[in-house]
Structure 1
Amino acid sequence: MSGNAELLNFIYQNSQMGVDTIHQLIGIVEDENFKKHLHSQLNEYQEINNTARSLLNNNGYDEKGISTFDKIKTYLMINMQTLTNKSPSHISEMLIIGSNMGVIDAVKNIKRYQQAEHQIVGLMDKLLRFEENNIQQLKKFL
């Protein structure tokens, strides 16, 4: 698989995890202000995810989705971590941890795939900036 396809699939999977996680959390969160913030995050993850999928398909690559095992594992972990605490503070903390992991992976992939097409690296950079902004925005809910 080429560096372009690998980087695009990373972006696709990372943003898909964001979409899936935020969808699940919107159903759990009770605070309307926080829910509004999550909807905003969801829209951005969906936009990045759709762009990555389009770029993959337009370049003749198939998107490699998140494995069923990882989806189930994440679903169960979110349910367990929110079973006794559904507060915006607790959920924000969970999301900040996830976004920090996303930032680390994004920086590593930008360095690893420096030779990828400019448009693809730009999309990775957009995802990185989005994750960094998420962290700052979520701090308000801690």
Structure 2
Amino acid sequence: MPTEDTINLLKECDAGCKMGIDAIKQVIDKVENKKLYDIIVKYLNDHQKLQNKITDKLNEFDCSEEQPSAMAKAMSHMKINFKLVKGEHDKEIADLITDGCNMGIKSINKYMNQYPAALESIKSLCYDLAELEENFAKDLRHYL
């Protein structure tokens, strides 16, 4: 049986990955630049592959999936809709996603520190998510 730290960290990783997927899906149809679109599609696919691994672990541990908080999702939707009213969608999208990546990195590291007794295999998924977010933000710098 996995420890409470393992379950809690896995659920936070699940919620964080879902939050990233949701945010990408909110903006992807508004991207105008083909290269930016291709980058975003690549990272959407990468997030979905990682999400599948997380779901497999949740199933292995017989745990329910974690949904991002309703407040976090609502704030994300409002921020995205507000920013995209301005025009220059590609710059705004790159900026929004970069902010999301940075928040994701911060959150996942906070939870890894909060749940230090979690299994290494779950910490590894968290490291993968943080690295994915880091690389995504780096690849978006050209479009800021």
TM-score, structure 1 as length reference: 0.90
> Which range moved further: 15-24 or 89-98?
89-98
Of 14, 18, 25, the residue aligned with 1:23 is 25
Deviations for 1:72-93, whole angstroms, at most 9, x for unmatched residues?
4422321121112243222111
Aligned to 2:79, the other structure's residue is in SS state helix
Please state how far the C-alpha of 1:39 moved relative to its aligned partner. 0.3
Letter in 2 for 1:102: G
In the other structure, the counterpart of 1:115 is 117
* Amino acid corresponding to residue 78 of structure 1 in structure 2: I
> TM-score normalized by structure 2?
0.89
Matched pairs, number: 142
Question: Aligned partners of 1:68, 1:106: CA distance in 2, in Å?
Answer: 18
RMSD: 1.7
TM-fit CA distance, 1:110: 1.9
Report the Cα distance in structure 1 between the residues aligned to 2:43 and 2:87, rounded to whole angstroms: 21
Worse overlay, 13-22 or 90-99: 90-99
- Asked which structure has the greater RCO (Cα within 8 Å, sep 6+), the reply is 2
Determine which of 79, 98, 120 is the counterpart of 2:100.
98
Instruction: Indicate the residue corresponding to 1:12 in structure 2.
Output: 14
Unaligned stretches of 5+ residues in structure 1:
none
- Please list every run of 5 or more consecutive structure 2 residues that lacks an aligned counterpart in the other structure: none
AA matched with 1:76:
M
CA deviation string 1:75-116 (max 9, x = no partner): 232112111224322211111111111111122222222221
- Give the whole-Å Cα distance in 2 for the aligned partners of 1:108 and 1:57: 24
Q: Which moved more, 1:76-85 or 1:115-124?
A: 76-85
